[in-house]
């Protein structure tokens, strides 16, 4: 597993389902470079249990991300046909009908591998057979990417642990506050709070008043 913070987000072109219904063959994050921040999140598998709760939670807050100029993109190692099928299933039956942000199909598993969040790896057993040491699906990785394509925040949860969408929004706010004001965000910072200058005097002034 690798840390991508501070580095260029790995580029890819892959099939995806967009707008909840249309399959495209050449979806890429490169279209957003110079225009938008991107929140790219990976989930383990279609037609599972924690995953639909996360996809619906991101959809419920999609307007807030879009108001901040952030593109939300999901990805798993399932096929685009599997994504499309799951999108046809109503929420009350465990489906993700109503999700409109792009869902990328990483069927080759190269995207998951390039982001360093593969649950397992390939190995060779004593008989020379290729074996998998895990389920070979994505951990619950989340990457906040700035307009220049640089990863600014990274979070990886193990398979049973769902993510907090409000925390993802908070990190977007923190990044944009820094970009707009040049001030850094202290512990537990939320939108509307004071930032502080990255200096010993700035730290002292902040701690004296908080």
Which tokens is 133 given? 């040491």
Number of CB atoms found within 10 A of residue 143's CB? 24
Say which residues have a Cβ less than 8 Å from residue 140's Cβ, sequence separation at least 6.
41, 42, 43, 44, 54, 156, 157, 158, 159, 161, 162, 163
Q: How far is CA 109 from CA 35, 56, 74, 76, 182, in A?
A: 27, 24, 14, 8, 38
What residues act catalytically? 51
């Amino acid at each position: 597993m690798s840390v991508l913070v501070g580095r260029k987000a790995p580029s890819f072109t892959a099939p995806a389902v967009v707008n909840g219904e249309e399959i495209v063959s050449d979806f890429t994050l490169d279209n957003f470079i110079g225009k938008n921040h991107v929140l790219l999140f990976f989930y383990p598998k279609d037609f599972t249990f924690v995953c639909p709760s996360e996809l619906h939670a991101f959809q419920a807050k999609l307007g807030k991300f879009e108001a901040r100029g952030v593109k939300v993109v999901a990805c798993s190692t399932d096929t685009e046909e599997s994504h499309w099928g799951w999108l046809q299933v109503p929420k009350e039956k465990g489906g993700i009908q109503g999700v409109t942000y792009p869902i990328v199909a990483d069927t080759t598993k190269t995207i998951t591998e390039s982001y360093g969040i593969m649950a397992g790896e390939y190995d060779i057993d004593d008989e020379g057979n290729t074996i998998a040491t895990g389920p070979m699906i994505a951990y619950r990785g989340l990457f906040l990417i700035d307009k220049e394509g640089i990863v600014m925040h990274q979070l990886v949860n193990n398979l049973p642990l769902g993510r907090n969408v409000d925390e993802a929004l908070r990190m977007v706010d923190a990044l944009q506050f820094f970009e707009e004001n040049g001030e850094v965000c202290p512990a537990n910072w939320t939108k509307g709070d004071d930032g502080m200058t990255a200096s010993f005097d700035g730290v002292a002034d902040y701690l004296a008043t908080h």
